[in-house]
């Protein structure tokens, strides 16, 4: 079997699960570090393995533009290209087209956009997104969707939702017809990727439920909740996630895209979300914002100049085991490239440890210490 | 004993030796990676250990300006500050004052300069350089010298040489009076640093010999040959090194500062040089210039776009073991921070392996394969 998901324990709505993919198993709830352009920024692959990252995310938009999906296909797919033998998920490219590119034009066919790199013109359609994602060869790929802007009128949301559903059907059809073209060899030869559907519907709970129902009718092996963290208040995010989760099948993985702060991902896991991804730990690290068991800190703060303590006394990562806050502050202030490396390793360790603790709590049947203790909403 | 040097084997003029310092032993000939501001740029300390770097260099000028030697002293010295328990050497600050700072004014007393960071005014004297280097607490520290510009008239060289000798004497006197102020504790408590003298004399072999003779009269535990690689032709560099080596005592370590290309460091080791340092492997790596057993390559070259081979098929480093040229090219072209990390790890591995092969060849009594085979002058 190429893809499967099983739930081993449940506490309240939270689920302890295990996804099986052609490139290994993923314990859920899982946080997926973002490796935009084939690299989790500043972190070598062996360090990601040491951190026990079981799945990372790649961005279809970026990889399509550079180095190009044809090149990646020609070397056997993204796993081989970047020398990462564990699982990968790629997004559909839709979100980046909407957020990064210029002069986009949306039609029933797809989206025409200009590259943020060189201004060249490109067309993404559901079929094209599938073709690219099959060439990249991630274990889990995403249907091509429209991420509706926030705020938006109900009529606009309705229109966008219908478009996303039609695109989901086209994604599904193209994928079924071409899924054996994935450029895998060796142990993965003959296996296929898993295509997930995406729930949209803006900040309207009724439309979210309808989107979820009609996406489920297309029968995907997993479902994402997209279009969140686009500027809405956090209560709205929670409400939309709750609305979609009501409808999504309990025996399939549920993935909230592009979230969040540590306290948020814990909260969402408690609600029954199985997968999350976010650039926050990696991007914040490069800006000196570090997550610790004692809260967030900005490492460039003068009060750390002579602080001989570790970043986070509760953290077992190799950065906290070896380096002082004073040294990390110096590296950041001096613009040393090592700052990005060490800060990112710590932030990822913190996120991955957070999810490990969540899984442990679910197994023990008690999430109260985690959700009430460490979690306050941003 | 705080510092000692012993020669275990000799082949021609080349020496296989071992330096003992308060922070471990260093096999010589040794190449010392440069960690300008308390970090070998982009490389975590555990990776430096994996690479078997036994000594690294720190720049007094940079560390004095940021984070400041007082801060480093207050936490117990540079080893503790950067969590590096192996040996460190600091330069005197002189070379950077001449090459990086503005509006310097040279007097008998010392050098007044403006920080390249914020324009603030500072005075380095031999005494001040010693005070700073004692506070930093490297195992080997350098006398404060004037690095003469190239080209220079003989009268200018003579004047500069005399100044460097007077400064060497002042450095020596201050160091002897204050050496017990080094902020070491634990295993290193009570031990002292080793202060090396520096031979100058520009590109005049007679003055080089005189500088060496008169520096040796001051009786340092090791001697550097400074003021090279300042734009002179390579034959001049060789001639100046040869002139100084004629005079320098054979039972003391001899250190050529700021060199060089792989074929050059091999050549100098063959001439009897025991220590070298250079920013070349680390700086070139960040610009995509990589050293391999097949020669230099620029990783951004289009011909590597689909090259599935390792950077250097002869190299056993973890970059060559895991990543393809195609991937390394992509990282560099895409501006990924991982490019600097992986490129630097490889270049340092190449330099350190090169010196390992040189030491092995000296032990075997035959340097011909190394000096004639792989070495062509730049």
Q: Does B46 touch chain A (CB under 8 A)?
A: yes
- Judged against a pLDDT cut of 50, whether residue A376 lies above it is answered with no
Residue A103's Cβ-count burial label (10 Å; 0-12, 13-18, 19+) is exposed
Q: Does A81 touch chain B (CB under 8 A)?
A: yes
Taking an 8 Å cut-off on Cβ atoms, the answer to whether A338 and B44 are in contact is yes
A372 falls in which pLDDT band (50, 70, 90)? Answer: low
Q: Does B287 touch chain A (CB under 8 A)?
A: no
Q: What is the pLDDT of residue B104?
A: 76
Residues A17-50: pLDDT tens digits? 999 999 999 999 999 999 999 999 999 999 999 9
Q: Which of B139, B145, B274, B277 is catalytic?
A: B277
Q: What are the beta bridge partners of residue A105?
A: A112
Residues B223-268: pLDDT tens digits? 999 999 999 999 999 999 999 999 999 999 999 999 999 999 999 9
Q: What is the pLDDT of residue B376?
A: 38
Q: What is the pLDDT of residue A377?
A: 36
Considering only CB atoms, which chain B residues are within 8 Å of A286?
Answer: 337
User: Averaged over B106-131, what is the pLDDT?
Assistant: 95
User: Averaged over B262-289, what is the pLDDT?
Assistant: 98
Q: Does A279 touch chain B (CB under 8 A)?
A: no
Taking an 8 Å cut-off on Cβ atoms, the answer to whether B43 and A336 are in contact is no
Considering only CB atoms, which chain A residues are within 8 Å of B81?
Answer: 324, 326-327, 330
Q: pTM for the complete prediction?
A: 0.97
Residue B232 tokens read as 């002179």
Q: What are phi and psi of B209, to 5 degrees?
A: -65, -45
Element (H, E) at A7: strand A4-11
Q: What is the pLDDT of residue B373?
A: 46
Taking an 8 Å cut-off on Cβ atoms, the answer to whether A38 and B327 are in contact is yes
SS3 letters across B158-221: HHHHHHHHHHHHHHHHHHHHHHHHCCCCHHHCCCCCEEEEEECCCCCHHHHHHHHHHHHHCCCC
Q: What is the pLDDT of residue B133?
A: 98
A103 falls in which pLDDT band (50, 70, 90)? Answer: low
Taking an 8 Å cut-off on Cβ atoms, the answer to whether A38 and B330 are in contact is yes
Q: What are phi and psi of A198, to 5 degrees?
A: -125, 130
Confirm if A82 and A98 have CB atoms less than 8 A apart: no
**CA distances from residue B315 to B34, B64, B321 in whole angstroms, order as listed:** 21, 37, 8
Angle separating helix axes A205-216 and A154-178, nearest 10 degrees: 20
User: Averaged over A237-246, what is the pLDDT?
Assistant: 98
B97 falls in which pLDDT band (50, 70, 90)? Answer: confident
Could you confirm whether B312 is annotated as catalytic?
A: no
SS3 A194: strand
Q: Does B349 touch chain A (CB under 8 A)?
A: no
- Give the Cα separation of B184 and B179 in Å (integer): 11
Chain A stretch 49-78, residues whose beta carbon is closer than 8 A to a beta carbon of chain B: 66-67, 71, 74-75
Length, in residues, of chain A:
378
Considering only CB atoms, which chain B residues are within 8 Å of A326?
Answer: 67, 71, 75, 81
Instruction: Give, rounded to a whole angstrom, the gap between the first and last alpha carbons of chain A.
Output: 40
Mean pLDDT score of chain A, rounded to an integer?
96
Residues A302-355: pLDDT tens digits? 999 999 999 999 999 999 999 999 999 999 999 999 999 999 999 999 999 999
Least confident of A77-86, A364-373, B70-79: A364-373
Q: Which of A145, A277, A312, A353 is catalytic?
A: A277
- Judged against a pLDDT cut of 90, whether residue B371 lies above it is answered with no
Considering only CB atoms, which chain B residues are within 8 Å of A285?
Answer: none
B103 falls in which pLDDT band (50, 70, 90)? Answer: low
Taking an 8 Å cut-off on Cβ atoms, the answer to whether A323 and B42 are in contact is no
Angle separating helix axes B154-178 and B126-136, nearest 10 degrees: 50
Chain mean position to CA A363: 24
Where are chain A's structural domains? 4-278, 279-370
User: For chain B, what percent of residues have pLDDT higher than 90?
Assistant: 93
Could you confirm whether B277 is annotated as catalytic?
A: yes
Residue A365 tokens read as 């049947």
Mean pLDDT score of chain B, rounded to an integer?
95
Of A46, A75, A337, the CB nearest to B306: A75
SS3 B154: helix
Of B39, B327, B334, the CB nearest to A66: B334
Taking an 8 Å cut-off on Cβ atoms, the answer to whether A306 and B71 are in contact is yes
- Judged against a pLDDT cut of 60, whether residue B277 lies above it is answered with yes
Residue B371 tokens read as 């000096």
Residues B71-92: pLDDT tens digits? 999 999 999 999 999 999 999 9
Q: State the DSSP code for A51.
A: T
Number of H helices and E strands in chain B, helices first, is: 15, 16
- Give the Cα separation of A258 and A269 in Å (integer): 14
Q: What is the pLDDT of residue A85?
A: 98
User: Averaged over B336-345, what is the pLDDT?
Assistant: 98
User: Averaged over B9-14, what is the pLDDT?
Assistant: 97
Chain mean position to CA B284: 16
Residues B41-75: pLDDT tens digits? 999 999 999 999 999 999 999 999 999 999 999 99
> What was the ipTM of the complex prediction?
0.97
> CA angle at residue B18 from B15 to B19, to 5 degrees?
120
- Give the Cα separation of B110 and B105 in Å (integer): 8
Taking an 8 Å cut-off on Cβ atoms, the answer to whether B326 and A81 are in contact is yes
CATH architecture of A4-278: Alpha-Beta Barrel (3.20)
Q: What is the pLDDT of residue A373?
A: 46
User: For chain A, what percent of residues have pLDDT higher than 90?
Assistant: 93
Considering only CB atoms, which chain A residues are within 8 Å of B333?
Answer: 66-67
Q: Does B327 touch chain A (CB under 8 A)?
A: yes
- Give the Cα separation of A132 and A72 in Å (integer): 10
Residue B239's Cβ-count burial label (10 Å; 0-12, 13-18, 19+) is middle
Residues B146-156: pLDDT tens digits? 988 899 999 99
Confirm if B305 and B328 have CB atoms less than 8 A apart: no
Considering only CB atoms, which chain A residues are within 8 Å of B318?
Answer: 46
Longest dimension (CA), chain B: 61
- Judged against a pLDDT cut of 60, whether residue A243 lies above it is answered with yes
- Judged against a pLDDT cut of 70, whether residue A117 lies above it is answered with yes
Residue B340 C-alpha, separation from nearest chain A C-alpha, in angstroms = 8
Report the chain B residue with the minimal C-alpha distance to residue A65: B334
Q: What is the pLDDT of residue A99?
A: 83
């Amino acid at each position: 079997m190429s893809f499967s998901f099983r739930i081993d324990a449940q506490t309240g709505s939270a689920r302890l699960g295990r996804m099986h993919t052609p490139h290994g198993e993923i314990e859920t709830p899982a946080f997926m570090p973002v490796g935009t352009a084939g690299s989790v920024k500043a972190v070598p692959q062996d360090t990601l393995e040491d951190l026990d990252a079981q799945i990372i995310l790649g961005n279809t938009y970026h990889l399509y533009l550079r180095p190009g999906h044809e090149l990646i296909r020609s070397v056997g797919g993204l796993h081989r290209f970047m020398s990462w033998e564990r699982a990968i998920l790629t997004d559909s490219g839709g979100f980046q087209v909407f957020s990064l590119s210029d002069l986009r034009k949306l039609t029933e066919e797809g989206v025409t956009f200009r590259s943020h790199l060189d201004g060249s013109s490109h067309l993404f359609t559901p079929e094209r997104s599938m073709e690219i994602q099959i060439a990249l060869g991630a274990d889990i790929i995403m249907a091509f969707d429209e991420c509706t802007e926030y705020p938006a009128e109900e009529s606009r949301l309705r229109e966008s939702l219908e478009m996303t559903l039609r695109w989901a059907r086209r994604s599904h059809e193209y994928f079924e017809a071409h899924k054996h073209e994935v450029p895998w060899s060796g142990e993965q030869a003959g296996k296929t990727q898993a295509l997930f559907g995406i729930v949209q519907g803006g900040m309207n709970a009724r439309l979210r439920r309808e989107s979820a129902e009609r996406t489920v009718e297309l029968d995907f092996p997993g479902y994402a909740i997209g279009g969140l963290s686009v500027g809405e208040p956090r209560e709205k995010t929670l409400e939309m996630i709750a609305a979609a989760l009501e409808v999504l099948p309990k025996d399939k993985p549920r993935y909230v895209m592009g979230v969040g702060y540590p306290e948020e991902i814990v909260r969402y896991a408690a609600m029954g979300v199985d997968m999350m991804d976010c650039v926050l730990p990696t991007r914040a690290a490069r800006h000196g914002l570090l997550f610790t068991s004692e809260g967030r800190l900005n490492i460039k703060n003068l009060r750390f100049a002579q602080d001989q303590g570790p970043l986070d006394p509760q953290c077992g990562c190799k950065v906290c085991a070896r380096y002082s806050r004073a040294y990390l502050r110096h590296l950041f202030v001096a613009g040393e490239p090592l700052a990005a490396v060490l800060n990112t390793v710590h932030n990822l360790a913190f996120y991955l440890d957070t999810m490990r603790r969540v899984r442990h709590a679910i197994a023990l049947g008690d999430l109260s210490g985690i959700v009430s203790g460490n979690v306050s909403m941003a």
